[in-house]
């Protein structure tokens, strides 16, 4: 058993976010490689023969070559205990990423050097800004043709509204990529295409003052361009300020190639120096200090059937304070019960290791007998407080679910409820129809494919989805004071209820929302539900 303060202070918990195909999962694999967690990094692309990336464990992910759920990876490196939350890049799964960011202390933003800031990066970044999360930028794929470096930085500053401070600077790109200039050490670190998936690879360091040696390696043109750019950079870029980085207003920028493993360890070392140990978190009784307070945590993700053979449900907890002991009793605040957490485990994608202890900053999985919801708080029995809730995104696409075999009603109801409790889909019923009429709402249409695939593969249930024309959903505030039958609606409005019995309204047209508010004085509608 380690010293509590010391153990908490060596924790670093961060999420990796990016647009699809920017190389996020490849970067995650290389970081694991340095931590000795894996010996050979896998390929992410959807080929039957390829080694699948460790962090992509769901069957549909292996088939399509994309990440659709966040996975949690823990490893040791240089005295630090690192928890990586690898998030899905595809925008149809942004809600999962959003919740995962609630569990992270900082974020690593991976940007494709040939594409710059893309739509999905923009959306996720706004979440980081909202939470004032420190952001570290890794501009990837320098071994391919890249955009102008100054334009890339300009893009980040304009699109995301954050100042940039390059920690190193690339020399060429694509076939002419020669390495990076380390601004602090004032030397050039040379690039060589190392063997993919391994950590070996010699990188030469040439001090910038040794001009002849530098010319011999990069050529006269690239040397001249580098010296001009360094001069410009020193005059134009924001100075490095650790307070601003930790306040989420300045992002340190690194250049490299995750695929060929260039610049990854340099990035990791700098990142660990700049990022913080777990910080206090806000609850309804004020800030909860990670070291001073005893154990507390919140549920940010629920995943059913991680192990198909066991038909299990795992609740992922972010430990916010104190030390967790496997034998301790904890209070489940929302359920108002004291319980022991069953099968506490460290998750490495779909591999698990049963834990006896964990500390603030750690992410652990526990067996969920069906009592936890996303956003629930756990603490020691004598305490009673709640961490800030996690808002649920309003679905943008809706479909009616038809079950193909009515004899499998039980499996169908169980399956769709379990998948809904994970938060990837939201299910609703038409008022008065019971479970006969189920409407499913999703943030992105790809979630419909995942629902169909998982019901078939995990619950042996076939469904047909009939798209519905609704695009706007509103929760009714103070619904217990509203007479739903007396509500004056519009022709394109539908009344439904969510799993908890809260009434909602669906609309085809955005202007109908205002019309309903005008027709029903005192009615309040909200775009957000709460877990």
User: Is it the case that residue 408 has pLDDT exceeding 90?
Assistant: no
Beta bridge partners of 503: 497
Give the model's pLDDT for residue 505: 93
- For residue 54, what pLDDT band results from cuts at 50, 70 and 90? very low
Q: What percent of the chain has pLDDT over 90?
A: 40
Give the model's pLDDT for residue 406: 82
Query: Picking from 208-212, 226-230, 267-271, which range would have the lowest pLDDT averaged per residue?
Result: 208-212
User: In this structure, is the dihedral angle defined by the CA atoms of residues 505, 100, 255 and 45, taken in order, positive or negative?
Assistant: negative
- For residue 57, what pLDDT band results from cuts at 50, 70 and 90? very low
Question: What's the Cα-to-Cα distance from 109 to each of 18, 118, 137, 456, 465, rounded to whole Å?
Answer: 6, 11, 5, 35, 35
Give the model's pLDDT for residue 71: 64
Q: Distance between CA 25 and CA 41 in Å, rounded?
A: 10
The residues near 183 (Cβ < 8 Å, ≥ 6 apart) are 166, 167, 168, 169, 230, 233
Nearest to 191 by CA among 226, 21, 181: 181
Beta strands at 426-430 and 493-498: parallel, antiparallel or unpaired:
antiparallel
Q: Distance between CA 19 and CA 88 in Å, rounded?
A: 9
Burial of 352 (0-12, 13-18, 19+ CB in 10 A): middle
Task: Give 14-50 pLDDT, tens digit per residue.
Answer: 988 887 777 877 888 888 887 765 544 443 333 333 4
- What string of H, E and C letters represents the secondary structure of 401-457? EEECCHHHHHHHHHHHHHHHHCCCCEEEEECCCHHHCEEEEECCCHHHHHHHHHHHH
Query: Picking from 71-85, 123-137, 401-415, which range would have the lowest pLDDT averaged per residue?
Result: 123-137
Burial of 13 (0-12, 13-18, 19+ CB in 10 A): buried
Q: Distance between CA 199 and CA 334 in Å, rounded?
A: 46
All structural domains of the chain with their residue ranges:
12-70+78-274, 281-379, 391-530
User: In this structure, is the dihedral angle defined by the CA atoms of residues 366, 460, 531 and 392, taken in order, positive or negative?
Assistant: positive
Q: What is the mean pLDDT of the segment spanning 453-461?
A: 86
Query: Picking from 45-54, 294-303, 500-509, which range would have the lowest pLDDT averaged per residue?
Result: 45-54
Which residue's entry shows tokens 């601004």?
183
Nearest to 451 by CA among 401, 407, 501: 401
Q: Distance between CA 450 and CA 447 in Å, rounded?
A: 5
Q: What is the mean pLDDT of the segment spanning 196-218?
A: 75
Burial of 91 (0-12, 13-18, 19+ CB in 10 A): middle
Q: What is the mean pLDDT of the segment spanning 224-235?
A: 89
Give the model's pLDDT for residue 73: 80
Q: Looking at residue 34, what DSSP letter applies?
A: H
Q: Taking the mean position of all CA atoms in its chain, how far away is CA 236?
A: 33
Nearest to 259 by CA among 433, 3, 524, 27: 27
Q: Distance between CA 451 and CA 445 in Å, rounded?
A: 10
Measured from the Cβ of residue 32, the count of other Cβ atoms closer than 10 Å reads: 26
pTM: 0.76
Beta strands, E only, 178-247: 179-182, 187-190, 205-207
Q: Do residues 520 and 483 touch, judged by C-beta distance below 8 A?
A: no
The DSSP element (H or E) to which 130 belongs, if any, is: helix 119-131
Kindly write down the DSSP assignment for every residue of 458-527, as one continuous string.
HH---EEEEEE---EEEEETTGGG--GGG----TTEEEEEETT--EEEEESSTHHHHHHHHHSTT--EES
Residue 8 three-state SS:
helix
Give the model's pLDDT for residue 50: 42
Residues comprising the chain, all counted:
531
Q: Do residues 186 and 177 touch, judged by C-beta distance below 8 A?
A: no
The DSSP element (H or E) to which 283 belongs, if any, is: strand 281-283
Specify the CATH superfamily of domain 281-379.
Answer: Translation factors (2.40.30.10)
Mean pLDDT, the chain, whole residue set: 82
Task: Give 77-116 pLDDT, tens digit per residue.
Answer: 999 999 888 765 444 445 666 778 888 999 999 999 999 9
Give the model's pLDDT for residue 355: 86
User: Is it the case that residue 412 has pLDDT exceeding 50?
Assistant: yes
Q: Inter-axis angle of helices 149-160 and 119-131, to 10 degrees?
A: 60
Give the model's pLDDT for residue 491: 93
Give the model's pLDDT for residue 290: 97
Query: Picking from 52-61, 105-114, 239-248, 475-484, which range would have the lowest pLDDT averaged per residue?
Result: 52-61
- For residue 195, what pLDDT band results from cuts at 50, 70 and 90? very low
- For residue 371, what pLDDT band results from cuts at 50, 70 and 90? confident
Q: Domain 12-70+78-274 is in which class? A: alpha beta
Helix, strand, coil % in the chain, rounded to nearest 5 = 30, 30, 40
Give the Cα-Cα-Cα angle 29, 31, 33 (nearest 5 degrees). Answer: 70
Q: Domain 391-530 is in which class? A: alpha beta
Give the model's pLDDT for residue 42: 44
């Amino acid at each position: 058993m380690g010293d509590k303060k010391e153990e908490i202070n060596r924790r670093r918990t961060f999420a990796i976010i990016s647009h699809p195909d920017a190389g996020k999962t490849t970067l995650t694999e290389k970081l694991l490689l340095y931590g000795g967690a894996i010996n050979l990094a896998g390929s992410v692309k959807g080929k039957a023969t390829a080694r699948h990336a460790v962090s992509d464990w769901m069957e549909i992910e292996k088939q399509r070559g994309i990440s659709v759920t966040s996975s949690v990876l823990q490893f040791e490196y240089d005295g630090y205990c690192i928890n990586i939350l690898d998030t899905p890049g595809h925008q149809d799964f942004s809600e999962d990423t959003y919740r995962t960011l609630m569990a992270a202390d900082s974020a690593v933003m991976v940007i494709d050097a040939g594409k710059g800031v893309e739509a999905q990066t923009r959306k996720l970044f706004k979440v980081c800004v909202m939470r004032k999360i420190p952001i570290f930028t890794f501009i990837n794929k320098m071994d391919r043709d890249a955009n102008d470096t100054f334009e890339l930085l300009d893009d980040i500053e304009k699109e995301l509204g954050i100042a940039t401070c390059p920690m190193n600077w690339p020399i060429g790109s694509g076939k002419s990529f020669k390495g990076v200039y380390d601004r602090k050490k004032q030397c050039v670190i040379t690039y060589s295409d190392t063997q993919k998936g391994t950590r070996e690879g010699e990188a030469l360091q040439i001090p910038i003052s040794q001009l002849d040696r530098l010319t011999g390696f990069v050529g006269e043109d690239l040397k001249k361009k580098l010296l001009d750019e360094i001069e410009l950079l020193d005059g134009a870029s924001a100075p490095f300020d650790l307070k601003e980085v930790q306040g989420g207003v300045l992002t340190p920028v690194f250049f490299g190639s995750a695929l060929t493993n260039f610049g990854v360890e340099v990035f990791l070392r700098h990142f660990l120096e700049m990022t913080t140990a777990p910080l206090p978190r806000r609850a309804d009784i004020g800030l909860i200090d990670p070291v001073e307070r005893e154990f507390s945590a919140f549920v940010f993700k629920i995943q059913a059937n991680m192990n198909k053979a066991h038909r299990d449900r795992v609740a992922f907890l972010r430990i916010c304070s104190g030390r967790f002991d496997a034998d301790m009793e904890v209070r489940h605040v929302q359920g108002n019960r004291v319980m022991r957490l069953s099968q506490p485990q460290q998750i490495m994608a779909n591999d698990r290791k049963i834990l006896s202890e964990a500390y603030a900053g750690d992410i652990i999985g526990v067996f969920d007998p069906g009592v936890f919801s996303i956003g629930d708080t756990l603490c020691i029995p004598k305490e009673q407080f709640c961490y800030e809730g996690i808002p649920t995104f309003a679905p943008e696409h809706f479909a009616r679910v038809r079950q193909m075999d009515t004899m499998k009603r039980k499996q169908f109801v169980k399956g769709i409820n379990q998948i809904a409790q994970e938060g990837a889909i939201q299910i609703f019923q038409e008022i008065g129809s019971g479970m006969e009429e189920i409407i499913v709402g999703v943030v992105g249409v790809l979630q419909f494919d995942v629902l169909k695939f998982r019901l078939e593969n995990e619950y042996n249930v076939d469904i047909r989805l009939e798209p519905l024309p609704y695009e706007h959903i509103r929760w009714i505030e103070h619904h217990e004071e509203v007479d739903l039958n007396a509500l004056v609606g519009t022709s394109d409005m539908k009344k439904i209820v969510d799993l908890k019995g809260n009434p909602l309204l669906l609309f085809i047209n955005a202007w109908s929302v205002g019309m309903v508010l005008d027709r029903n004085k005192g009615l309040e509608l909200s775009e957000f539900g709460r877990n």
